[in-house]
Amino acid sequence: MLTNSLDPQTKSATSLPPHDAKARVRQFMQQLQDQITQGLADLDGVESFQEDRWERPEGGGGRSRILREGAVFEQAGVNFSEVWGSHLPPSILVQRPEAEGHSFYATGTSMVLHPRNPYVPTVHINYRYFEAGPVWWFGGGADLTPYYPFAEDAKHFHNTFKQACDAHHPEYYPVFKRWCDEYFYLKHRDETRGIGGLFFDYQHGEGQLYRGPHPDNAAAMYSDSLDRIAPRSWEELFAFVKDCGNAFLPAYIPIVQRRNEIEYGDRQRNFQLYRRGRYVEFNLVYDRGTIFGLQTNGRTESILMSLPPLVRWEYGYQPQPNSPEAELYEIFLKPQDWINWTPSHTEAK
């Protein structure tokens, strides 16, 4: 029998946050932004990030860093934010009703990269921390959105994050990979946004690992099939989030280095712009970070920096049979076991 992964009676009392929790998470999130922007600027080699500091009238603020018109990146945005207020927005209370009536604190780093070359995939990460009265949790993840199918890239991306997960719990990757496939799914298109990666939320150290809204989907069913998960402390979860954040550059830079010099033409560029439309659709219709930012009066320019600078839509598009574009739809926009992928999985296509 499936359990309710969002039982409001579940308490986050295994390990209360240390007295300096906010300061430590804030420091890490800022360091992660620094580390990633430096690594990406070195990789691009032409343009650098421009920083825009902002303040939120209700409390808090952030640093938005944008690189535009670079050699590798058409646009890259890496945000740090730290906000607080008197009450959480509805998008959070739906999932954590026990936080209602409490003031909140939230901090995190988020990033979306839109490369110029269609053979280089778009990528997104987000790691965050919330407190609301006695309630606290970590969330985050990373996902890769290729425009052209390279299974070795998908395998490398997943392997890198699996290693980060396995250092902390053997079931993190199996659950959070399935949760990622579930979350980055465009229901109105019946396709995933890309090849996935990791996604987790509402992790406070107790109960099942999956804490999402779909008890009949693969992530919940797998999570509920596991033996009881031992309680995990605040320190253990923070260490896990740090390792996931630090895994990003090793997961992504080798892919860019493999693909950025591949020549492309109008066909590939037009397909990239068309597929970017799916990114816009997901972020404006489904993305919880976008919804949270807008509901808490966040800075609109920073919230929407995830959108690509150029995009196109085409009515009734269908890829040519047996083309790389068709392979993307047939294999890469459906959940796959990328860790155990072998070339024979796609050679028949």
User: Annotated catalytic sites, by residue?
Assistant: 124
* Amino acid identity, position 132: A
Q: Is 249 strand, coil or helix?
A: helix
* Cβ atoms of 311 and 277 closer than 8 Å: yes
Q: What is the distance between the alpha carbons of residues 221 and 96, in angstroms, rounded to a whole number?
A: 21
Q: What is the distance between the alpha carbons of residues 106 and 191, in angstroms, rounded to a whole number?
A: 31
DSSP 164: H
Q: Write the burial class of residue 119 (CB in 10 Å: 0-12 exposed, 13-18 middle, 19+ buried).
A: buried
Q: DSSP H helical segments within 193-247, as ranges?
A: 218-225, 234-246
Which value, in Å, is the radius of gyration of the alpha carbons in the chain? Answer: 20
* Cβ atoms of 54 and 302 closer than 8 Å: yes
Q: How many CB atoms lie within 10 A of CB 139?
A: 20
Q: What is the distance between the alpha carbons of residues 46 and 214, in angstroms, rounded to a whole number?
A: 44
What are the Cα distances from residue 295, in Å, to 63, 87, 290, 292? 19, 11, 9, 5
- The string over 249-261, giving b where at least 16 C-beta atoms fall within 10 Å of a residue's C-beta and e elsewhere, is bebbeebbeebbe
Q: Which residue has the tokens 């430590």?
A: 24
Q: What is the distance between the alpha carbons of residues 67 and 50, in angstroms, rounded to a whole number?
A: 6
